[in-house]
Chain A
Amino acid sequence: MSNPPRRRDTHALGRRRFLTSIGAAGAMAALGAPSIGRAQAREVKVGYLLPVTGPLAFEAQLALNGLQLAVDEINGAGGVKSLGGARIVLLPGDTQNKVELGNSEAARLIDQGAVALIGPFSSLVAFSVRQVTEKNKTPFLLLATVADNVLEGGLHYTFRMQPNARAMATLTLGNMSEMAKNSGLAVKRVAIMHEDGNFGTTMGNYVEAFAAKMSYEVVQRVPYNLRSPDFTAELSKVKAARPDLLVISGYYGDSKLIAETAAKLRIGVNALVGLANAAYSNPKFIAENRELTDLLFDGNYWHNPQSARARAVFEAYQKKYNSIMSNHGVQGYQVMFVLRDSLERAGSTDREKVRDAIAKTNLTDHILTQDAIRFDDTGENVNATPALLQVQGGKPVVVGPARFQEAKPVFPVPKWKG
């Protein structure tokens, strides 16, 4: 038995195994290493964290288009003036809609020198990202993240431009009540169906919480598992409660199934209203389901149809991407301009200074349905207002609040009335 050769093998194997781990760690370090040798004064790096691949890929791409459009517009007009005309450079981050990737991608982008991070859609992913940004003192601008408690806990570096869940729920119901009153009807009996995750449950909670204040009764609240292949039983439960309004907070597949089944069951409500619904004002959903989506309502973040600038931006988007700008694109576009505005005022790429500038934002030149963009101490946009949309003629139009209205609402909607 010749032992020495075997021992050599052992060493070689062991060393190889060890080196492989070290090599892998080294490769990872290289991937995350901050880029050196770049003329940092001429470039401002902004990282984005979006679910570019995975179930939300389509919507993420729309948001990315908006971001890119804004970046091109800013750079085309001479970059950030107070930084000597520095160009904005987008650093990509793909979260795949996964929590652990939100974490590691955020760390990686910060390593690469991102001045601020934008993203990440899913509230769950936002929770893991905000840990990284807080501990690394980097400004984090939320995009399409609606859960209220994402800003809970005294965060210093996280800001949300869009309406949060509370605003979405209360203002949308307020708009619906207003609209119903104008049609000679009242919203008295509300049923809400929501997916049983954070997003849906938050919406459900607010609809219930504001019942007394807005003098309606929640006659049925139905949380559901969004993977369910059948909602007939749930919708029957709703129908049995005889609501006059059905509110739905869900994602794409489930919202579609619910709308279809509700129509077949002749649910008997005055209207079907999405609450920050992922499907009801989604261009793809509408294009693929013309008949079903006709006259659906949705309370969602949107652009201001009365704004000349918004119209110009829409045209630019159409020209560049050959499609209609969605509300995700609007979010992407606008949030980049909020950042640009802050960079101008900060006059520096120092993250602390940029953070302070964001906190002092008072931006009136924007394309959203709201007054000036301003953030409160917790990072929420105080004036954020959702629009009330209705699908008319194959596209969502703003029917409320009144000052942004671009078309009159159709209410009640005959096909839901049964």
Chain B
Amino acid sequence: MTWLFFQAVVSGLLLGGVYGLVASGLSLIFGVLRIINFAHGAVMMLAMYTSYWLFVLLGVDPYLSILVTAPLFFALGVVIQRVIIEPNRAAAEHNQLLLTLGVALFLENLALVLWQGDFRTLRVSYSGASFMVGDVLVEVPRLIAAGGAVLVGLGLWGFLRTTDVGKAIRALSEEPEGARLVGIDVARIRGVAFGIGSACVAVAGALITPFFYVAPDVGESFNIMAFVVVVLGGMGNFLGALAGGFIVGLAESLGAAFLPGSLKQLVVFGLFVIVLLFRPEGLFGVRRGR
């Protein structure tokens, strides 16, 4: 039983790292733009397809594909924000939500039309690599994914803290009026934030292709998880999202190991609802006016 517990903890943490990266992108977008981006998972899916095709057609290792996909999907994110979301900035909140829903529907089915629905997998030499720590299995691609996710996440956090653009993003996120008043080009920053969020999710996608299949609906489960993590970690709280990812990954994995049936999903959603109701600023967030 203790072995089972430790295995569940390890697997949960490894997957949680990826959830964290996906969620921190979503959290950043929410912090700056105040919208819940329903298209987040769809962007991740497209990035995964891009990594896949780069591998199949040009033999590019999925981790290396990040050099291509991160800037590419940063650009896509900026475009989506400037072309579709920015013009509707004054619209009601729920309308902006629906915009991202429309983008999600469009992108997911675009993938279906272009590449059909079959599962695609890419195999690299290290896809099957794993080692045991005692009785606990650690799969190398998952370890790399979690580690990479944390590195990228921390790197981004550093970027937000130290660079001008990063500071502008934080300013806009914490004090929109003030940011405008001190002369920050808020429209540009909004685009950049959405771009960074999309780049995050593209990196996360590339990191999981060595062990997870690619299909048009692959972003859906990560989308839901990202919402849960962001709420848990505090909307707009970047580090909170990274930490929240681990918490959700753990909860899910422990739920799978010790609860009957497929009730692990109930644990995750239950956590979600409870946090939303009783601590909407998240476990790490600061209570602020909604």
Q: Do chains A and B touch in the complex (CB under 8 A)?
A: yes
Is the CB of A5 closer than 8 A to any CB of chain B? no
Is the CB of A55 closer than 8 A to any CB of chain B? yes
Interface pair B220/A227, CB less than 8 Å apart: yes
Q: Which of B1-9, B157-165, B166-174 contacts A (4 or more CB under 8 A)?
A: B1-9
Set of chain A residues within 8 Å of B264, measured between Cβ atoms: 225
Set of chain B residues within 8 Å of A288, measured between Cβ atoms: 121, 123
Give the interface centre of A57, A224, A232, A256 by most chain B CB atoms within 10 Å. Answer: A232
Q: Kindly report which residue of chain A lies nearest to residue B127, judged by CB atoms.
A: A260
Contact with B along A223-256 (1 / 0, CB 8 A): 1110111101110110010000000000011001
Contact with A along B98-129 (1 / 0, CB 8 A): 00000000000000100011110101000010
Contacts A53-B117, A240-B1, A260-B128; A233 near B11 (Cβ below 8 A): yes
Is the CB of A360 closer than 8 A to any CB of chain B? no
Set of chain A residues within 8 Å of B142, measured between Cβ atoms: 230
Contact of B8 among A233, A256, A261 (CB under 8 A): A233
Contacts A54-B112, A223-B261, A230-B253; A236 near B217 (Cβ below 8 A): no
Contact of A237 among B4, B112, B117, B220 (CB under 8 A): B4
Contact with B along A162-196 (1 / 0, CB 8 A): 00000000000000000000000000000000001
8 Å CB interface, A86-131 against B: none
> How many residues belonging to B are interface residues under a CB distance threshold of 8 Å?
41
Interface pair B116/A57, CB less than 8 Å apart: yes
B81 to chain A, nearest CB (A): 28
Contact with A along B1-27 (1 / 0, CB 8 A): 101100110111011000000000000
Interface pair A196/B261, CB less than 8 Å apart: yes
A196 to B7, CA, bound (A): 23
Q: Which of B68-76, B193-201, B208-216, B230-238 contacts A (4 or more CB under 8 A)?
A: B208-216
Set of chain A residues within 8 Å of B8, measured between Cβ atoms: 232-233, 236
Interface pair A55/B220, CB less than 8 Å apart: no
Contact of A53 among B1, B15, B112, B119 (CB under 8 A): B112
A261 to B216, CA, bound (A): 23
Contact of B254 among A233, A252, A256 (CB under 8 A): A233
A232 to B262, CA, bound (A): 14
Set of chain A residues within 8 Å of B222, measured between Cβ atoms: 229
Set of chain B residues within 8 Å of A57, measured between Cβ atoms: 116-118
Is the CB of A56 closer than 8 A to any CB of chain B? yes
Interface pair B3/A240, CB less than 8 Å apart: yes
A265 to B261, CA, bound (A): 21
Interface pair B130/A264, CB less than 8 Å apart: yes
Interface pair A232/B7, CB less than 8 Å apart: yes
Set of chain A residues within 8 Å of B15, measured between Cβ atoms: 229-230
Interface pair B256/A253, CB less than 8 Å apart: no
Contacts A223-B261, A240-B3, A256-B121; A233 near B116 (Cβ below 8 A): no
Interface pair A232/B137, CB less than 8 Å apart: yes
Interface pair B4/A264, CB less than 8 Å apart: no
Contact with B along A398-411 (1 / 0, CB 8 A): 00000000000000
Interface pair B119/A240, CB less than 8 Å apart: no
Is the CB of A321 closer than 8 A to any CB of chain B? no
Is the CB of A58 closer than 8 A to any CB of chain B? yes
A166 to chain B, nearest CB (A): 22
B14 to chain A, nearest CB (A): 8
Interface pair A253/B7, CB less than 8 Å apart: no
A292 to chain B, nearest CB (A): 8
Contact of B137 among A225, A264, A284 (CB under 8 A): A264
A54 to B216, CA, bound (A): 9
Q: Kindly report which residue of chain A lies nearest to residue B130, judged by CB atoms.
A: A264
Is the CB of B139 closer than 8 A to any CB of chain A? yes
Interface pair A236/B212, CB less than 8 Å apart: no
Interface pair A233/B220, CB less than 8 Å apart: no
A148 to chain B, nearest CB (A): 20
Give the interface centre of A233, A252, A288 by most chain B CB atoms within 10 Å. Answer: A233
A240 to B128, CA, bound (A): 22
Contact of B116 among A53, A240, A256, A260 (CB under 8 A): A53
A234 to B130, CA, bound (A): 18
8 Å CB interface, A34-76 against B: 53-58
Set of chain B residues within 8 Å of A53, measured between Cβ atoms: 112, 116-117
Set of chain B residues within 8 Å of A253, measured between Cβ atoms: 119, 213, 215
A95 to chain B, nearest CB (A): 12
Set of chain A residues within 8 Å of B212, measured between Cβ atoms: 229, 257
Set of chain B residues within 8 Å of A54, measured between Cβ atoms: 112, 116-117
Contacts A233-B256, A264-B137; A223 near B7 (Cβ below 8 A): no
A198 to B8, CA, bound (A): 27
Cross-chain pairs A/B with CB under 8 angstroms, 5 sampled: A236-B3, A237-B4, A253-B119, A256-B213, A257-B213
Q: A58-B118, A227-B221, A237-B256 are in contact. List 4 more A-B contacts (CB 8 A).
A: A55-B118, A55-B215, A225-B221, A232-B139
For the complex of A and B, the 4 pairs showing the least CB-CB separation, nearest first, are: A55-B117, A232-B11, A233-B256, A233-B257
B residues neighboring A (CB under 8 Å): 1, 3-4, 7-8, 10-12, 14-15, 112, 116-119, 121, 123, 128, 130, 137, 139, 142, 208, 211-213, 215-217, 220-222, 253-254, 256-258, 261-262, 264-265
